[in-house]
Homo-oligomer: A and B are copies of this chain.
Amino acid sequence: MARSSTRPTSRDVAQAAGVSQAAVSLVLGDKWRGRVSETTAQRVREAARELGYRPNLAARNLRLGRTRTVLLVVPALTTEFFAGVYTGAARVAAEHGFGVVLYPSPEGIGPARDPFASAQTALDGVLASSMAADALTAIRGDQLPLVMLDSDPEGSLGAATVNLDIGDGVRQVADHLLSLGHRRVLHLAADVPSWTFELRARELAARMAAVPGTQVHTARAPISIEGALAATETALTTPGPRPTAVVCDDDKLAAGAYKAIRRLGLRIPDDISVTGLDDLALATAIDPELTTVRLDAELFGERGMRALLAVLEGALPESGDIPVHLVVRGSTAPPPGR
């Protein structure tokens, strides 16, 4: 119990199982056929699981002089293109027992920083987006210092959290539309179970409800242009008074909404206003340019990293949400007949 502060080694496992360290290595390395009895192997595996043993990769790499790891150098991370490159490469690598580590040649970080400085690996800590939920259990298993990005403060596993003030962004959108005179709004929501999207729905509904006579209908769509197109088209052709504005959970959904609206022969923003959230390049590529909420992703990353570094030093991370700002462009206007 006294040594619970340090990670268990194969020697600890050996002691717990009453065997030598070598035996542990053999069993866990799957090299024990005919060298260790089934029952002993069982006992070793049990002990390893109980102690939460994870091999020290630095030691293994040193011993083997090999890492089964490959570096993928890409020009930057800003392109969807290289996202696909990574996906394909990682799949094949995984099939061969290799890992892939990304080194996105950073534009903001001085010229030609040594790629290998980024690869010292085995980890000191983790900065995790709450949307990568399935990876979190594995992370917690390692008891590594953890900082969450944009996570439900209640459900963040006790880890420190850095959040964008998305709730305020949604309120800004609502206020903007209300002040233009909109009262019937369609919320095009991302069909993804995530705290951040629930927050958006909640805040939008609450803010609109503060003004008498407002209505918010909701349509759900997967985060893709086609999905948003279909959902929007369905929602806008439903009988009853048509919404005068569509509030989208992100810019990509808004791009889909544009296509649906255009397909119905309506004009943006004359017949119907549209808002997004993210302020991607996409927002200014489409016509008219999209009124949206700008999220300062770089600042978000900076703050997250600062928090993690603070945790690593035993200090208390800076708190407070990161402010976001509404960017008004050409996709919003007063509702027709006003």
Contact = CB atoms under 8 A, between A and B. Distances in A.
Interface string A120-146: 111111111101101111110010000
A28 interface: no
Given A62-B62, A105-B134, A301 B70 contact: no
Interface in A222-247: 224-225
A182 B113 CA distance: 46
A69 B116 contact: no
A3 B285 CA distance: 57
A321 to B, nearest CB: 16
A50 to B, nearest CB: 19
A18 interface: no
A59 B57 contact: no
B73 A129 contact: yes
A20 to B, nearest CB: 21
Contact of A112 (B72, B79, B137): B137
Contact of A129 (B80, B82, B136, B297): B82
A70 B126 CA distance: 6
Contact of A87 (B106, B117, B252): B106
B131 A75 contact: yes
Contacts of A301: 72, 84-92
A244 to B, nearest CB: 21
B281 A68 contact: no
Contacts of A84: 296-298, 300-301
Interface stretch (A95-103, A167-175, A206-214): A95-103
A99 B103 CA distance: 10
A308 to B, nearest CB: 6
A29 interface: no
A94 interface: yes
A199 interface: no
A286 interface: yes
17 contacts: A69-B118, A69-B119, A69-B122, A73-B128, A73-B132, A75-B132, A87-B104, A89-B305, A90-B104, A92-B302, A99-B118, A101-B102, A112-B137, A115-B139, A119-B121, A252-B281, A282-B285
Give the 8 A-B residue pairs with the shortest CB-CB distance, closest first.
A121-B121, A84-B297, A88-B301, A88-B298, A77-B83, A89-B301, A102-B102, A99-B118
